[in-house]
Amino acid sequence: MPARRLSRMVADAVLGVVALAVAALLLWHGAIPDRGGVMGLIESVLPWFGILIVLLAIIAAARRSAFAGIGALVAAVVWAALFVPQLTPHHGEGDGNLSIISENVDADNADPGTTVASIAARHPQVIALQELTDTSTQAALTTLAGAYPHHYIVGTVGVWSELPLSNGHSLTLGLGWKRALSVDVQTDEGSVRVYALHAASLRPGQFTQRDEMLRTLAATLRADDSTRLIAVGDFNAASTDRAFRQLLDTVSEPRTSQWGLGFTWPARLPVARVDHLLERGLGVVSSVVLPANGSDHRPIEVGLN
């Protein structure tokens, strides 16, 4: 066999194997051990593997390689099955009688008052803010004082509400400092338990604190017997992250009401959705990502019944 033909066959085989490996990764990434938090980072960007699949398909077509083409097709079918349903808008029923906006306001935000004011201008009943500093906390207290007379703040996390709040508790979620809280919002339909949190960051080699917070939160939510419950904030985890997926055993994440996957970070060109609202016992009417407003995260707004 001529060396040139052999080389071409080997290259085509490698392309096909890579495409099939991508398909396998999309399906069974949860079975791969996470070393140093690397898999958490990979799982955060799994939707972007669609670009790699398109490139593999183009190369396979250009080379007229049947094996590489089949591999790319298998990967494309797997990607579509996983993510296409999430790309289409989903709207719930009802008008919504409880709206919540959540945002990480960014500790380095040069004008947190403007960021908070842009949220308040949408008139949600409840506002949850994360990564508060002394400056941004004071800006929020000043900006929201009139329309949101009720608030509960723990460390860098706070909840402001038009509706009465009660039964507030600070939470460490397994860490040595407070990055979360729980508080009850009194609505006309009854009490809603709200957990607001800012999970620890996920970086290569630095993931155990984030994972511990989410693991402890999952256990806390399972143990909570509230019939109507919300967990909201910056989870520092995408919906495809195994550390985040464990939360979905007891609460649900609504699909977005917009086209796309609802990415929230970084604000200028979002590549992942790390800000979430999870619920139990409530009907979801809408879930949208709002435009950038001065923070490095985009806010999310969810309407509930």
CB 100 within 8 A of CB 125: yes
Q: For every residue of 150-164, which 3-state class applies, written as one string?
A: EEEEECCEEEEECCC
Tell me what pLDDT residue 1 has: 58
DSSP assignments along 201-248, one per residue: P-BTTB-HHHHHHHHHHHHHHHH---SSEEEEEE-SS-TT-HHHHGGG
CB 296 within 8 A of CB 265: yes
d(CA 86, CA 90): 9
Using an 8 Å Cβ cutoff, are 228 and 281 in contact? yes
pLDDT at residue 6, rounded to an integer: 78
Contact 29, 62 (CB under 8 A): no
Residue closest to 44 by CA, chosen among 292, 235, 303, 200: 235
Say which residue the tokens 């809280």 belong to.
181
Q: Is residue 131 packed enough to be buried (19+ CB in 10 Å), middle (13-18) or exposed (0-12)?
A: buried
> Which residue carries 């619920």 as its tokens?
279
Q: Is 46 helix (H, G, I), strand (E, B) or coil?
A: helix
How many Å apart are CA 130 and CA 115, to the nearest integer?
A: 12
- Among candidate residues 238, 241, 246, the one with its CA nearest the CA of residue 270: 238
Q: Which of 221, 242, 219 is nearest to 230 (CA)?
A: 221
Yes or no: say if 173 and 143 are a contact pair by the CB < 8 Å rule. Answer: no
pLDDT in tens, the chain (305 residues): 577 777 888 888 999 999 999 999 999 999 999 888 889 889 999 999 999 999 999 999 999 999 999 999 999 999 999 999 999 898 887 777 899 999 999 999 999 999 999 999 999 999 999 999 999 999 999 999 999 999 999 999 999 999 999 999 999 998 888 899 999 999 999 999 999 999 998 877 778 999 999 999 999 999 999 999 999 999 999 999 999 999 999 999 999 999 999 999 999 999 999 999 999 999 999 999 999 999 999 999 999 98
pTM over 0.85: yes
* Residue 186, both tokens: 């009194």
